[in-house]
Chains A and B, each alone.
Chain A
Amino acid sequence: MNVEWYVVLSSLLFAIGAMGILIRRSPIVILLCLELMLNAGNLALVAFSRMVGNQQGQVFAIVVMVVAACEVVVGLGLIVAIFRRRLPLNVDELRELRG
């Protein structure tokens, strides 16, 4: 398959993830949609690395995976802290930081 198929697929996955972030209101599902977007970026990185014939893009993809793991850990820690304080798990009701 040509590389452009992979790139178009990755942009489609990115758009689905962005749409999910706009639609959903549960913080867990928003984190999952963030994962979708990061993975779409990973797919584009690996596809371009194959297009150039160079392994450096794959190293970038692995670093993106590390950053995604950190984001998951901190995000889930925040969700658990929100749950412990009996706050609603709904991003529309957690609006104290809005000015």
Chain B
Amino acid sequence: MKTLFRIQRYNPETDRAPYYQEYEVELEETDRVLDGLNAIKGHQDGSLTYRRSCAHGVCGSDAMRINGVNALACKVLIRDAGSKITLEPLLGFPVIKDLVVDMEPFFAQYRSVLPFLINDEPPPTGRERLQSIEERERYDDTTKCILCAACTGACPSFWANEQFVGPAAIVNAHRFIFDSRDRGAAERLAILNQRNGAWRCRKIFNCTQACPREIRITQAITEVQREILFRNST
């Protein structure tokens, strides 16, 4: 089927401001939006620029706005995106070129929540730390995050204040706060109790809708908020 792509373009070396360019591509309805981008780049306009790698929704490279909604270009099929598809870079991040945004601020926020296991007790020798199936299940959802930034880039609180640590960072804090092997929850919760921490979430649910991994992000954020209150009251 003929598919019309309307893509936001911006080359920092030649353009003062972003503009839209249209391309027509012949695609099958089971093709991915990414297949459309690759067809344009390969056969019409090599200068069209976007990130991509795994092409099946696990590496997190190609998050962008597809018809106004954040998603991975490799996880949206043409039959769902329609015959006219508008592609724009994620909102809230500086645009480097076309659909490529600067991810450094995003990763800085991720790093700020201490996204690694904290436990100074020596692990048992010759075997694993034990964890029950229920304890493992407690934080399962947030281990799925691929750091694609679709959630943070969909968050109105983040658009309003880019100092907000954002949903992705809170998800990654949640992953450790609720891991029975971790001992760093107090430290992380103190970070998220600050001005630009978890309380900036206004429960708009854009993040949850945007997540290509279907993580219940708003719920995870709420659990973190509850944990801050619970720990501060005991």
| A and B held together in a complex | no
